[in-house]
Amino acid sequence: MNDQLALPVGTTLDRFIMRKQEDFPYATGELSQLLRDIALATKIVNREINRAGLLGVTGTFGQQNIQGEEQQKLDVIANIRFIRALRNGGEVCAIISEEEDHIIQTGNARGKYIVAMDPLDGSSNIDVNVAIGTIFSIYRRVSEGGDGTLEDCLQNGTKQVAAGYIIYGSSTMLVYTTGCGVNGFTYEPSLGEFFLSHPNIRTPKKGKLYSCNEGNINSFPDGIKAYISYCKEQNYSGRYIGSLVADFHRNLLKGGVYIYPPTATSPNGKLRLVYECNALALIVEQAGGKASDGSERILDKTPTELHQRCPLVIGSPDMVDKVEEFMKAELVAV
């Protein structure tokens, strides 16, 4: 990576994308344009979220998504906005979305990229004004042209060319990586611009925060139960917002670990490999952290279904290692 191109805080996202494209001599600008398309959709969704209470678009939409989860009105709005921006941008041939049963074909037959996204994660928190987020992964298609294929969409996480999330919180931030570190941009709505606010994010090797829903502890694997007891012995703090992007973002910056293990209601974990775990795993590894399912590296898992779930342990590397240590000890004890 060309360090003298280290751009100052306050650089706009547009300028950052353009200057970083220069790091890739053969770049032809499509990925840069795709990142701009995502940023555009983010600005629109951000406005909808901020006005939701006034526009009466909080609450449920009256339908369920493929996961059997009540679709919130803003889930549907965000899904439509991102799909429209990606379709109109022309760079994406197909989209996988948490809100859609099947692969969405954009009609961009020559589009080189696939986007996998959770357009609005944690949306049940909207009505109580808790931070929510968008998660996305970008892959280069493996098929030659035309509609995106299942093979295009079920690629191993190491094939991601970019990944990011947006957190709609006290401020709206876009955090992403193209494989050369992680950078965070804060949105200034009065100017309609994202500005570089968190250059080259590195996550602490360890922290004192652990995030999990302890209401499920009775059905956690013994190794996870043992790790949570260890956290209490170490006087760590439990911090669980119930919004993955918000919990992940705090732990990324301050150090900590987020755990969604197998439970009685979600025997394979609750979170989705293709459009939640893979993106956050790439980001955390690029920031010096780790992500596993409790034993296997998330990015080494090859998806077999669009909406498959997997357990997630993600955050500071020493803490993820510790969880895996307790999980291994459980296997030995059995």
23 labelled ligand-binding: no
Token pair 């989209």 is found at: 95
Q: Determine the Cα–Cα distance for residues 96 and 334; give it in Å rounded to an integer.
A: 39
> Residue 224 corresponds to which amino acid?
I
Query: Between the CA of residue 73 and those of 45, 76, 96, 178, what are the distances in Å?
Result: 12, 5, 19, 31
Question: What residues numbered 238-257 form the site for ligand P6P, per CB under 6 A?
Answer: 242-244, 247
- Rounded to 10 degrees, the C-alpha dihedral 38/42/43/47 comes to 160
328 labelled ligand-binding: no
Cβ neighbors of 35 (< 8 A, separation 6 or more) are 13, 17, 162, 176, 178
Our CB check for ligand P6P shows the closer of 11 and 71 to be 71
Q: Determine the Cα–Cα distance for residues 270 and 42; give it in Å rounded to an integer.
A: 25
Our CB check for ligand P6P shows the closer of 10 and 238 to be 238
55 labelled ligand-binding: no
Q: Is 268 in the site for ligand P6P (CB under 6 A)?
A: no
Least distance to ligand P6P, CB of residue 213, Å: 3
Q: Is 148 in the site for ligand P6P (CB under 6 A)?
A: no
Only one of the segments 30-38, 175-183, 237-245, 293-301 lies at the binding site for ligand P6P (rule: CB under 6 A); that segment is 237-245
Cβ neighbors of 93 (< 8 A, separation 6 or more) are 105, 106, 108, 109, 110, 111, 112, 113, 114, 141, 146, 147, 148, 152
324 labelled ligand-binding: no
Least distance to ligand P6P, CB of residue 145, Å: 34
**The only residue of 43, 250, 270, 301 in contact with ligand P6P, by rule CB under 6 A:** 270
Least distance to ligand P6P, CB of residue 89, Å: 26
Q: DSSP character for 330?
A: H
Task: Give the interface with ligand P6P as residue ranges (CB under 6 A).
Answer: 121-122, 213, 242-244, 247, 270
